[in-house]
Amino acid sequence: MKKVIANTTVECTEEGYLTDFGQWNKDIARAIAKEQGIELGDDHWKVIEYLQEKHQKEEALTIRGIKKSGVIDVKTFYKLFPGGPLKKATMIAGIPKPKGCI
């Protein structure tokens, strides 16, 4: 389905995940974050970059992976992306919802 985010028409799933990472940019990330009630700061961007790297390497994304990443501790991850941190973080990062997320 098509959706306008940050004045850009993008393709996304019914849940709001981009279907084409090539359409992602930081303005779109900020707009998606705002829809989720999140204002992005430096720590958010570190997590987003980490998730995008893992996705590009086709590695599975998990909370455990975040914990082991050294990028951020799990408690902070939950504070940065409240109410489903991995779902919200991947949505903002412009990558597909991880298989383990309901």
Q: Is residue 102 part of a domain?
A: no
In a domain, 87, yes or no: yes
101 within a domain of the structure (yes/no): no
Domain count along the chain: 1
> Considering the domain boundaries, does residue 69 fall inside one?
yes
The answer to whether residue 101 is catalytic is yes
- The answer to whether residues 13 and 32 touch, using CB atoms and an 8 Å cutoff, is no
Q: What is the mean pLDDT of residues 18-46?
A: 96
Domain presence at residue 10:
yes
Proportion of the chain above pLDDT 70, given as a percent: 97
User: Is residue 57 situated within a structural domain?
Assistant: yes
DSSP 8-state assignment for residue 5: E
Query: Which candidate in 6, 71, 72, 101 is catalytic?
Result: 101
3-state secondary structure of 18: strand
Region 75-86: mean pLDDT is 94
**Mean of the pLDDT values across residues 7-18?**
94
Does residue 83 fall inside a structural domain?
Answer: yes
User: Is the per-residue pLDDT at 80 higher than 90?
Assistant: yes
Give the residue numbers spanning the domain of 29.
2-93
